[in-house]
Amino acid sequence: MKKIKLLLSAIILFLLALSCSKEGKEELIEIVVNEKPTDQPDEEPETEEPLVESSPLPDNPQRTGDALAGYEYLISGNYMSSGVPYDAFLLGTSVNPDNRLNRTGDNANLPYDYTSITAANGARVVAPNCMACHAATINNEFIIGLGSHDANFTVNRASNIALLNSGIRALYGGEESAEWQAYDQFRKSIVAIGPRTITQTRGSNPADKITQVLIAHRDKSTLVWQDTPLVDIPEEVIPSDVPAWWLLKKKNAMFYHAIGRLDFCKSFIGSSLLTLGDATKAAEIDTKMVDVLAYIQSLEAPEYPFLIDSDLSEQGKQLFENNCATCHGTYGDSPTYPNLLVTLKSVGTDPELSNHYTESSPMNDYFMDWFNSGWFGTYRNNLQIKAEGGYIAPPLDGIWATAPYFHNGSVPTLEDVLNSTERPTRWSRSFDNTDYDQLKVGWIYSVEQTKADINTYDTTLKGYGNSGHTFGDQLTNLERSALIEYLKTL
């Protein structure tokens, strides 16, 4: 037993942190009047075309539910169906749970991003929950709904799965045990996604690729697992940042590329594909996701915790309304949000995440068909996947807390967002949640000449680019400071 405990301790942590930008400002149309010599007739003022090409996203009314029930389901519900046997998990992890979620029973003994559930055969197992990607700590404040900015997906989480298998076999008497059977689907999923979802930098999230791998192994109608993938899975991993949950209530489409349309609740079930049994279980989970959506819609952005220069902020508010509000909306007592999908040509940010879904390929064609004509797109309240290209100009509530910025997390501070000439090509940070830059608003970072380790973000890599969104370049330093001061108040 002692050897088994040591074995599990060495490998359980490889399974931690599994899954489930803030960009786009625009200028208003400028009127340019060219003065002519007095001996020539005056010409009519020329009106420039808008610098931002965009289209409004249609409204998608959502189902309603109970926010309190949704919170309980998020932290303790059984939307996962398979996992590591409970006793084995406790033996193999050295994480000291602080029970910050105030959970009871078995869950009181687990890290906040894991939940103990009862599998269909009665075995008690532990699986990751949504907090693994959708909760984070900044300045020592734990915030549910803040995208995880420090998760490490740079390792192959399946690398030690064989050792874990051996430990569980030894603990529970082989593969005929109820515990092994309840663990088996989790094991298969880890083996599938582990080597195919490795990112280049800590903090970057491979959620899109995780989804692609999992659906490649599932029948689109029954959702039953297939050991052999139904489509060739490409090697490349295009990273994304995790958007804040509190923004969702304003949005008409999900995800940075706006491909998630119609029923949002169906999209949430995607997190269950890691361990799901079949469509029957998915239908059961669907009845609970209306409550989860209600909880997410109840979340409000956290307030900026440091001092704000009110006079400078007031100057910044006018700059924002004149230069940014057309895309990002207005804030205060009567907020507005236009829900605009901005073209790649206009925003100029890294195109790879958007292009992946607009360019035909075996994986993309399979992805579209799998969701739109399978269970997710045909069972009751349908999810629709629609790729038009470009990125949403997001709401900016709580933007101070959501660094790094852009859809791929390539820009460390708001000052760098608003001054593209100063953005670092390679930069690193400590991943200490208190290393916060109050002046530039974002993470304290150092400029690097090479990519030395996983803590270095390299914008020359495919999908990691920091180009585009140059709308703040024309501001003076004082105007930029004023605008940043106002953004702290949102």
For the stretch 178-230, pLDDT in tens is: 999 999 999 999 999 999 999 999 999 999 999 999 999 999 999 999 999 99
| Dist. CA 200–CA 203, nearest whole Å | 9
| pLDDT of the residue at 414 | 98
Lowest mean pLDDT among 15-24, 160-169, 193-202: 15-24
For a pLDDT cut of 90, what percent of the chain falls above it? 88
Q: Does the pLDDT value for residue 468 go beyond 60?
A: yes
Q: Check if the beta carbon of residue 212 is closer than 8 Å to that of residue 233.
A: yes
**pLDDT band at residue 95 under the 50/70/90 scheme:** confident
Supply the DSSP string of 259-318, one letter for each residue: -EEE-HHHHHGGGGGGT---HHHHHHHHHHHHHHHHHHHH--PPPP-S---HHHHHHHHH
Residue 1 confidence class, pLDDT cut points 50, 70, 90 = low
Q: Mind listing the pLDDT tens digit for each residue in 394-420? A: 999 999 999 999 999 999 999 999 999
Residue 125 pLDDT greater than 70, yes or no: yes
Share the mean pLDDT of the chain. Answer: 91
Residues 6+ apart with CB under 8 A from 348: 467, 468, 469, 470
Bridge-based pairing of strands 141-144 and 260-262 is unpaired
Contacts of 311 (CB under 8 A, 6+ apart): none
The residue among 39 and 107 whose pLDDT is bigger is 107
Q: Confirm if 368 and 426 have CB atoms less than 8 A apart.
A: no
Question: What is the rounded distance in angstroms from the CA atom of residue 204 to the CA atom of residue 240?
Answer: 6
Higher model confidence: residue 483 or residue 49?
483
Q: State the DSSP H helix or E strand holding residue 235, giving kind and residue range, or none if neither.
A: none
Token pair in block for residue 461: 């890599």
